[in-house]
Structure 1
Amino acid sequence: MLKNRWLPLTVACSLLLLSGCQTTSQTIEVTQPWHLLPMAVPLQPTTQQEVQLARIDQILLRDDLTDQDKAQIYYERGLVNDNLGLRDLARLDFNRSLSFNPAQPDVFNILGVYFTQNGLYDAAYEAFDSTLELDESHQFAERNRGIALYYGGRYMLAERDLIKHYNDNVNDAYRALWLYLVEVEKDGLEAAKAQLTTRYANSDKQDWGWEIAKLYINEVSEEQFFRDIMLTSQNNAQLAQRLCEGYFYLAKRYQALGDISSAVALYKLAMSGNVYDYVEHRYAMLELSRIAQQVAQQSLSKS
């Protein structure tokens, strides 16, 4: 299992990855044995983001702003704070934005994601329902409500949302992946794998996320999967994004197999690149919280 094969990173491996992801197949074959986990340099705030925040703060000092202006500006600052991982500040900005304009489907959608992250599922359902009432074609809210229902243990309703979401674009791998995760809980691992195999075969296979699907249906090994990520990532940002996704979905796989210690390690790695705006980063913390609660409950039961 994962915990037996993959050892902590050595200094040599870290130095290789800190060199900016300029790797070749020869470099990987010679210097990166595959019992070591690849990592990216954690993403940091950019100058552009810092300047954007400073400009927004200056604009908010003006006394000629309309309520519509304030709603838009607070929403934009909330997005920047969210991308920087400043979730509490972002949530405050989103709530301020709604106070000036309550008819904003995008704001309700992201607040619904925050509620899901914090395990407040009823509040999340209401937020996503509000989004869809304001904009019935809002597909992100449709997906996010399905994910919230999945985490809330309402698998039939989650499957309903996510099947519709998948049918809207059968070539989007991530729609198929979240539907697969629901079907694992609802129908069992083998039935879900058979469905994902069919969806992979019927897709155009252009989306990078299908590489994750291939991992789930045993079309590619873990070793080759991470080798491909290292070879095809164009820069450190893309490497961090792909590893965030790869580690999260691999963690889900090990968790489904009952290897909780490996899943915990992988969820932590999914968060290590600071890709704050990816759903995989958002829900890795939720997964860790749920596992911690389960372990605590089991300890109480034994005592």
Structure 2
Amino acid sequence: MVFGVRLAKAIVFFSTLFSVLVLSGCISSSEQSFVSKNRIILSEQNPNAHFDQEVMIVRISQILIVGQLDKQERANLHFERGILYDSLGLWALARYDFTQALALQPKTPAIYNYLGLYLLLDGDYDSAMEAFDAVLELDPNYEYTYLNRGLDFYYMGRYNLAEQDFLRFHQADSSDPYRVLWLYLNELKFKPGEAKQNLARRAQALSAEYWGTYIVQYYLNRISEQELLSKAKRFADPQSPQYAEILTETYFYLAKQKLNAGLIDEAEVLFKLAVANQVYNFVEYRFALFELGKLKAETEQTEQAVVQRVKSSD
């Protein structure tokens, strides 16, 4: 039954996706780009890819039901199962487990970090901020909370404050291109004249071990989209889970580029392609969904405004 529902959703998703590709005018004439006239580049989906995580969930669930556990042990198991649910995209179940773990061990920074992220993705920016602040009160060096709180500020439009957190996150590892990319995307919003120059300067310290380094090179116009695709095929086996990861990252940052250029339809297609690779626990997957939700809400608001104008003119 679950498989049938998922299959039906997949059919609807991809039929919609191809319709958007045709209608939006964003199809490239080149056969060597991520979205071309006759194809789109997606990773292979293996139905057994998450077998190990599913088995672990069953085992943990059995222990939680029948095991004689103290509070610490029970909290740890809820937290571990929450991480597994999160990796499978079952965020409501993950949220339940994290909440249970927090009730048992209320001074665990990692739990607040996860819950803050879910609140941010719900659009509850203030509650998310409280959760991230709680993390940093418990552990000021909890690195990824600076990214998450920076994202919270970014989507609130408080770019100066986002810059402080993104800089702190970048300084912890200046070789990581994803930290550089978020600094760049944020700086485009409040000091666009310096953004690209800063990106080029920070790019000098990046490690070629990260796929994102090539995305930075693309942003700097040092390689074309066709060259980016060629590098992707050499960087990871197209049959491997890593290929799904780099496609998720690539489509997301291509989408952000289109969105910043005002190419809304093209950005929407690319965000959907980022989601289609099903790398549920990547920040790019999470925020591709978030961006799609924002675009949908903006479209609905525009349509409602048009309807109101028509009614008022009658």
After TM superposition, the score normalised by the length of structure 2 is 0.84
Compare relative contact order (CA 8 Å, sep 6+) and give the higher one, 1 or 2.
1
Match of 1:6 in 2: 27
Q: Within 5 Å, which residues of 2 pair with 1:1-303?
A: 3-4=24-25, 6=27, 34-35=36-37, 36-42=39-45, 44=47, 45-188=49-192, 190-234=193-237, 235-303=239-307
| CA separation of 1:262 and 1:34: change in aligned 2, threshold 3 A | closer
RMSD over equivalenced CA pairs, Å? 2.1
Alignment deviations for residues 129-181 of structure 1 (CA, whole Å, 9 cap, x no partner)? 11111111100111111011111111110001111211221111111011111
SS of structure 2 residue aligned to 1:283: helix
Query: 1-side partners of 2:199 and 2:245: how far apart?
Result: 23
State the 1:54 CA deviation: 1.2
The one-letter amino acid paired with 1:193 is: K
Displacement of 1:33 in angstroms is 9.6
Separation (CA, whole Å) in 2 of partners of 1:110 and 1:198: 32
Pick closer, same or farther for the CA change 1:206–1:61 going to 2, 3 Å: closer
Taking the aligned partners of 2:45 and 2:35, their CA distance within structure 1 comes to: 22
Contact 1:43–1:273, Cα closer than 8 Å, also in 2: no
Counterpart residue identity of residue 222, structure 2:
E
- The Cα shift of 1:74 comes to 0.3
Residues 186 and 226 of structure 1, relative CA distance in 2, 3 Å threshold: same
Distance of 1:84 and 1:63 partners within structure 2: 25
Q: CA deviation at 1:194?
A: 1.6
**Distance in structure 2 (CA, Å) of the matches to 1:174 and 1:192:** 15
Secondary structure of the corresponding residue to residue 220 of structure 1: coil
Contact 2:211–2:235 at 8 Å: present in 1 too? no
Q: Deviations over 1:31-54 (max 9, x none)?
A: x99543311123545221121011
Q: Return the alpha-carbon distance in structure 2 between the equivalents of residues 246 and 149 of structure 1.
A: 23
Paired letter, 1:109: N
Amino-acid identity (%): 36
Give the gaps of 5 or more residues in structure 2: 1-20, 308-314
How much does 1:6 deviate? 2.4
Stretches of structure 1 lacking an aligned partner (at least 5 in a row): 9-27
CA apart distance, 1:204: 4.3
Q: Tell me the distance in 1 between the aligned counterparts of 2:209 and 2:93.
A: 37
> Structure 1 residue runs of 4+, over 6 Å off?
none
| Kept after mapping to 2: 8 A contact 1:38/1:226 | no
Tell me the alpha carbon deviations over residues 45-84 of structure 1, each in whole angstroms, 9 at most, x when there is no partner: 5221121011101111235200111100000011111111
Distance 1:216 1:43 in 2: 32
TM-score (norm 1): 0.87
